[in-house]
Amino acid sequence: MGKIKIQKKDVWIDMTPMSDVMTLLLCFFMLTSTFLQPEPVTVNTPSSVSEIKVPENNVLNILVSPKGQIFIGTDNKNDMNAMLQTVTDKFGITLNSTQIKHFREDAMIGAPLNVLGSYLSLDPEKMTEQIQTLGIPTDSIDGGMSEFQEWVKAAREANPDLKVAIKCDATTPYKVVKRMMSELQDMNENRYQLITNLKTAEE
C-alpha cells in the first residue's frame, strides 16, 4: 500500500494586531512618563517610613550636597527665567544671549552671583564640572537677605503656588540643614517637604 502524502501548509500569523498594540503601548509610555532632571551633584537621601509623594509639578527643589552646597531649581523653565530676571535686575547683573541660553539649559541654579556671569560663559561640559565646586551662599548680603533667600523670594514671585521640597544627602552636616531651614522660616516659608527614600524591612 502506498504512503499517503500529507500536503504541507505554511503557517502564517498575522502580526499586524501585535504591532499595533506595541505601537500604542510605546506611545502611551512616551506621553505619560516624566523625565528626571539631572542634578549637579549626587545625593543619597536618608530613609524614612513616610510614603507621601512629592508633587511632580510646581515644585521648588532645594538640593543640598554632602559638602553642604545648596542648589535650587524648578521644573518650569518659565519660572526659572523669571527668577533669573528678578535677581539680575536687582543686583545689576548683565548677561548676554549665550549666557542666558546656558542658564536655560542648566538643570539647577548653583553659582554665587559674583561668578554667575563667568560660570555661564563656560562650555556646557565645563559648567558641569564647575558647578560641583560651587553652591548658593547662605551668608547675608550687607546685613539683609542672603543669596539663597533672594532666589527663593524670586521663585515665589514667579509662581506663588510653588511647593518647596528639600533633598539632602544622608551625610550632609546638620548645621547646614538647620541654617537653610532657619532662612526659610525667616521668610515665612514654613511648609516644605523632605525628600527621602522609603525605609525597607531590613532597615
Which position has the higher pLDDT, 57 or 167?
167
Task: Say what percent of the chain tops pLDDT 90.
Answer: 1
Checking if the pLDDT of 203 tops 60, the result is: no
Number of Cβ within a 10 Å radius of residue 101: 13
Report the distance separating Cα 166 and Cα 143, nearest Å: 25
Least confident of 27-31, 50-54, 88-92: 50-54
Checking if the pLDDT of 37 tops 70, the result is: no
Q: Are 111 and 102 in contact (CB under 8 A)?
A: no
Report the distance separating Cα 96 and Cα 99, nearest Å: 5
Report the distance separating Cα 166 and Cα 135, nearest Å: 15
Q: Are 120 and 95 in contact (CB under 8 A)?
A: yes
Instruction: Please state the rounded mean pLDDT for residues 191-201.
Output: 68
Least confident of 41-45, 103-107, 147-151: 41-45
Beta strands in 123-171 (DSSP E): 163-168
DSSP 170: T
Report the distance separating Cα 90 and Cα 150, nearest Å: 10
Which position has the higher pLDDT, 142 or 104?
104
Checking if the pLDDT of 189 tops 60, the result is: yes
Checking if the pLDDT of 188 tops 70, the result is: yes
Report the distance separating Cα 175 and Cα 145, nearest Å: 19
What pLDDT band is residue 38 in, cutting at 50, 70 and 90? low
Q: Are 170 and 44 in contact (CB under 8 A)?
A: yes
Instruction: Provide the residue type at 192 as one letter.
Output: Y
Query: Any idea which residue has 564640572 for its cell?
Result: 129
**What pLDDT was estimated at residue 5?**
65
Checking if the pLDDT of 24 tops 60, the result is: yes
Report the distance separating Cα 119 and Cα 100, nearest Å: 11
Question: How much is the pTM?
Answer: 0.73
Q: Are 60 and 83 in contact (CB under 8 A)?
A: no
Cell triple for residue 36? 528626571
Q: Are 162 and 156 in contact (CB under 8 A)?
A: yes
Instruction: Please state the rounded mean pLDDT for residues 76-82.
Output: 87
Among 122, 113, 66, 78, residue whose Cα is nearest residue 94: 113
Report the distance separating Cα 67 and Cα 21, nearest Å: 49
pLDDT digits (tens, 9 = 90+) for 89-102: 998 888 898 988 88
**What pLDDT was estimated at residue 128?**
85
